[in-house]
Amino acid sequence: MTDEKKKKIIKTIRIDVDKCNGCRACEVICSAFHAEPKYSSNNPARSRIRVIHEPLRDIYIPVYAGEYTVAECAGRDKYTIDGKEYDECAFCRASCPSRVEFKEPDSGLPLKCDMCEGEEEPLCVRWCLADALIYEEREEEVAEEDVLTEQEDLELGLESLAKKYGLKQIIDTVARMSKED
Ligand code: SF4
Ligand code: SF4
């Protein structure tokens, strides 16, 4: 077995919850950027970043979509930070069966942040005038066998989607999206 290492750029968005004012500009631009064709519509329900709002306590928590998970997790934690209590799942980035966030409204297919592929900087970061979203890149060394090619990554994603939703729904959704294009 080889222990050769490869460099990988990890892209992340650091979130400063205290600065978020709940304007939802990040949701607007994300959904517009990912519309088919690009910028043809804007529907925050299709956004890969969602601002979770707790109206009674006036708390806004921006969360951007991470990996899709087939099963809901077993642990449900409550968080208290600076005297404010945050609901269970509030910080979770997964598209998961027990939450409505990060699902394509028509098909129910999971949505995942792609860091606005092709753009120099994520658009939600650029549109956040409150500086609550901060784009960061770091380089990490990973084992060569842990670096998936784009094709492997795509196949893995499609395989898990097909397991959960059935191949027909995936094909119907792709067909619908290409008609809109
Ligand atoms: S654009 Fe910034 S301030 Fe507005 S909701 Fe999104 S994260 Fe919060
Ligand atoms: S980085 Fe791009 S895809 Fe990800 S949440 Fe922000 S706007 Fe959406």
Q: Which residue did the predictor score with more confidence, 107 or 136?
A: 136
Whether pLDDT at 155 is above 70: no
Of the chain, the percentage scoring pLDDT greater than 70 comes to 76
Kindly report the number of other CB atoms within 10 A of residue 101's CB atom. 19
Domain residue ranges of the chain, discontinuous segments joined by +? 5-147
pLDDT of residue 176: 66
Q: Helices (DSSP H) in 52-166: which residue ranges? A: 123-127, 150-165
Instruction: Quick: pLDDT tens for 163-178.
Output: 666 777 767 766 666 5
The minimum-distance atom of ligand 2 relative to the CA of 133 is 6
Looking at residue 52, its pLDDT comes to 84
CA-based Rg of the chain, rounded to a whole angstrom?
A: 18
Please, which pLDDT band fits residue 26 given cuts at 50, 70 and 90?
very high
Q: Tell me which of 39, 111, 114, 124 to substitute to probe ligand 2's pocket, judged by most ligand atoms within 8 Å of the beta carbon.
A: 124
